[in-house]
């Protein structure tokens, strides 16, 4: 048995590890003819290593734009995004995005070649090493038998699995997923959720996942950030470790989903109009 602490005991203080990803007061804007429209307003959140962090909100709340900003494609109008303490100001191999669209694979490359391409050109791997890594991750997503197939021969779910294998093969610091299963039928979507969680159990990668489905957020996420309707502002951050695919349909799961719905849509809206402003010549 360990001895109890006493006043003279010397404690070794272990500092908490800083967040892997920090989004600090980030506002994002886009231009329309005559207007600058604010997509998000001063959003703050931290993502730690091996988190499954979900951005949840209604259509138009800026969650996909926020994901693109984390990937370095969209510069913040104010605030800062930091990965391992360094400001994100351009796309790079440390944040890889899997999009909703099925046609994100070059159709003239085989499945194996699609996974190998970024390994060769962004990671600088030789052909033999890239082949081994590509086949390893295709095996992880159950597509090793289709390595020589072309994308047009695959179903939508299979194309998404190739995109996930390609992203994981790059070993990014954060895997970004922008509603990757939204266009799939219900059965395929559930299977893809199962496969994603199984991959996470195997590799414990850090995931930043965008969805507008409350049920999917509860299943996929360990932490959920709720964003208000346009412009996206932080409503709340919730822990969702207690839920998984087996929880769906249960009373506790349904109660949590209803609570999140109320928090998303029934919270008071600020009177200040920060959604858009006129562009002055």
Single out the residue in 133, 156, 171 at which a domain terminates: 171
Same domain, 42 and 59: yes
β-pair type (95-98, 174-178): parallel
| Whole-angstrom distance, CA of residue 252 vs CA of residue 153 | 41
Same domain, 31 and 116: no
Same domain, 183 and 242: yes
* Phi, psi (rounded to 5 degrees) for 87: -65, 135
pLDDT tens readout for residues 153-178 = 999 889 999 999 999 999 999 999 99
Position 59 scores a pLDDT of: 87
pLDDT tens readout for residues 4-55 = 444 444 455 545 678 999 999 999 998 888 888 899 999 999 999 999 999 9
Residue spans of alpha helices (H) in the chain: 63-70, 111-121, 127-140, 156-169, 186-203, 214-220, 251-265
Instruction: Record the pTM.
Output: 0.86
Residues with Cβ within 8 Å of 281's Cβ and at least 6 positions away in sequence, in order, are none
Evaluate the omega torsion of the peptide bond into residue 236 and state whether it is cis, within 30 degrees of 0.
no
Number of domains in the chain: 2
Does residue 11 belong to any structural domain of this protein?
Answer: no
Single out the residue in 148, 171, 194 at which a domain terminates: 171
Full domain range(s) for residue 129: 105-171
Single out the residue in 171, 203, 226 at which a domain terminates: 171
| Whole-angstrom distance, CA of residue 247 vs CA of residue 53 | 19
| Whole-angstrom distance, CA of residue 66 vs CA of residue 43 | 9
């Amino acid at each position: 048995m360990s001895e109890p602490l006493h006043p003279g005991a010397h404690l070794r203080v272990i500092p908490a590890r800083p967040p892997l990803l920090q989004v600090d007061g980030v506002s994002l804007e886009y231009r329309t003819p005559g207007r600058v429209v604010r997509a998000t307003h001063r959003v703050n959140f931290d993502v730690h290593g091996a988190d499954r962090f979900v951005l949840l909100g209604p259509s138009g709340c800026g969650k996909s734009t926020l994901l693109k900003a984390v990937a370095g494609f969209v510069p913040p109008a104010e605030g800062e995004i930091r990965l391992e303490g360094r400001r994100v100001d351009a796309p790079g191999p440390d944040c890889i995005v899997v999009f909703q669209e099925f046609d994100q694979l070059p159709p003239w490359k085989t499945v194996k070649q699609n996974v190998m391409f970024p390994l060769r050109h962004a990671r600088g791997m030789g052909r033999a090493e890239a082949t081994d890594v590509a086949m390893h991750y295709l095996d992880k997503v159950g597509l090793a038998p289709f390595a020589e197939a072309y994308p047009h021969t695959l179903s939508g779910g299979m194309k998404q699995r190739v995109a996930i294998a390609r992203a994981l093969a790059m070993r990014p610091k954060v895997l970004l997923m922008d509603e990757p299963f939204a266009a799939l039928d219900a059965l395929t979507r559930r299977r893809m959720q199962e496969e994603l969680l199984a991959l996470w159990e195997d590799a414990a990668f850090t995931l930043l996942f965008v969805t507008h489905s409350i049920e999917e957020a509860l299943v996929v996420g360990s932490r959920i950030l709720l964003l208000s309707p346009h412009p996206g502002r932080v409503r709340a951050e919730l822990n969702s470790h207690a839920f998984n695919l087996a929880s769906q349909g249960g009373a506790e799961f349904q109660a949590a989903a209803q609570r999140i719905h109320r928090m998303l849509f029934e919270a008071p809206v600020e009177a200040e109009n920060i959604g858009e402003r006129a562009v002055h010549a």
